[in-house]
Amino acid sequence: MPHPLAQSALAVVLALASCSDRDPVAPGPTSPSPTAEAPTEPAPAPPEEPTMNEPTPPAAERAPLPVPADVREGRLEEATNRLGYEVLQRTKREGENLAFSPASLSLALAMTWAGARGETAEQMARALHLGDADGIHRSAAELVRAWNQRSGEYELAVANRLFGDERQPIEREFLRLTQQRYQAPLETVSFQPPEPARQRINAWVSEQTHERIEDLIPPNGVDASTGLVLVNAVYFLGEWTAPFPHHATRDRAFSRETGGTVSVPMMTQTGELRFAENDEVSVLELPYRGGHFAMDVILPKERRGLAAIEAELSPERVAGWLDDLSPQRVDVALPKFTFDGGTLEMTAVFRELGMVLPFREEADFTGISDPEDHGSRLHIGAIFHQTFVKVDEEGTEAAAATAVAMTRGAMPPQATAEFHADHPFLFLLRDLRSGAVLFMGRIADPS
């Protein structure tokens, strides 16, 4: 398939680290604690083949596709989308662009939650909207397997891995669950000294994201007290069903969120696309080849109305807008843009969401590691996130990585609608089969 010129990449690192320096212990997994209260499931049968791979008709032939009704409470798709909107609302920086992967965050944190116990597990479940553990882990397995299915129309790959310190004992039940449900094998490294391990993790992320994310964990992001790093990487490569003609791209004015205008290359085309509008927003769906994925662009009616729209975002509100989408002839103008925000440390965001105890030394992650020395137990040390997004006439390439490091201690169209994204807007890169949002962001200044 031709290489699209639109690319997106994201990485998230979550650090689980022990509370104090440890004495060396025998490497390798330990037996599960018989008294541990775990948000894990009974020993599962091999995951069933996902049922989300039926081809989707072209846009003009499809019924409206909101988040599907069968995405029931207790599945990871539902939790992923709700978490995404809440993270977006808590990372508001006026005039700045943002992109991240709710799917990457949700997968990495769900793996981490699988080893949490007691109040630690309860705080994570509330913050991440995780319900029944069996439903969460089974739906995670379905998503990972479905997203890794090969297609000649697009490329989507999801990879998970655990990087464990050679001195840190890991519970066999945790390793079994993360391997079977998340396809996350354990790789043993040494964090004494930490730099070779940091370079190894970053090299793995770079490989999984086709070198779009090369320095996920920053210098000093792990240290000699790091016991485990959980990593998720997501890579998407797709072409628009209807590419924008290069010859129609022209410089046009874009009104910035902070005031004033800037000249940006604006892609244009007119064609039949799924479109909706109301008094608040206009919404346009741009499908990718294969019919399984689409980018939804949400454009406020008010030129400086993005903040007000973001403040009211919820899965229900967005699903209502998407439910109104119908095929129409649309005159489209969308700016080309590139986002490369470097690494974000997201601990404050998740503390604000209610995950307080998981970051403290008294956190209970004994479902991951339950050493006799309580000073070698784990808590979340950091959550790192990195994103690269580039959108142009051909399509979209997207990559995401997540690591958790633990530290010791339709009606026929009657007229042509207009969708001119010449002021700040939101975008969602969505799996149309499951409803899960893989990537999400805001474009306040495409220059």
pLDDT tens-digit map of 218-259: 999 999 999 999 999 888 888 999 999 999 999 999 999 888
Cα gap 412→416, rounded to integer Å: 11
79/75 Cα distance (integer angstroms): 7
Amino acid at 206: S
What pLDDT does 180 receive?
97
Q: Is the pLDDT of residue 61 over 50?
A: no
For residue 212, give Cα distances in angstroms to 206, 216, 335, 390, 397: 6, 10, 22, 11, 10
Instruction: Give me the pLDDT at residue 398, please.
Output: 63
Q: For residues 183 and 160, is the Cβ–Cβ distance under 8 A?
A: yes
pLDDT at 66 over 80: no
Residue given tokens 């105890």 in the structure block? 357
Q: Give the H or E element holding residue 137.
A: helix 133-147
Residue 221: which residues within 8 A CB-CB, separation 6 or more?
13, 15, 198, 343, 382, 384, 405
> For position 189, what pLDDT does the model report?
96
Copy the structure tokens of residue 303: 């030129």
CB 15 within 8 A of CB 381: yes
Mean pLDDT, rounded, of the chain:
83
Write out the residue limits of the CATH 2.30.39.10 domain(s) in the chain. 246-335+413-443
Quote the tokens at residue 307. 């903040």
**Fold designation for 246-335+413-443:** Alpha-1-antitrypsin; domain 1 (2.30.39)
Segment 414-424, tens digit of pLDDT: 589 999 999 99
Give the span between the Cα atoms of 421 and 297, in whole angstroms: 9
Tell me the CA distances in angstroms from 236 to 65, 158, 318, 429, 432, one per residue in order: 21, 9, 23, 10, 14
CATH 3.30.497.10 domain position(s) in the chain: 7-21+58-240+338-408
Q: What is the mean pLDDT of residues 329-334?
A: 98
Q: What is the mean pLDDT of residues 167-178?
A: 95
How is domain 7-21+58-240+338-408 classified at the CATH fold level?
Answer: Antithrombin; Chain I, domain 2 (3.30.497)
Tokens of 259: 């005031």
pLDDT tens-digit readout, 356-415: 999 998 999 999 998 777 777 899 999 888 877 778 899 876 666 666 677 777 445 458
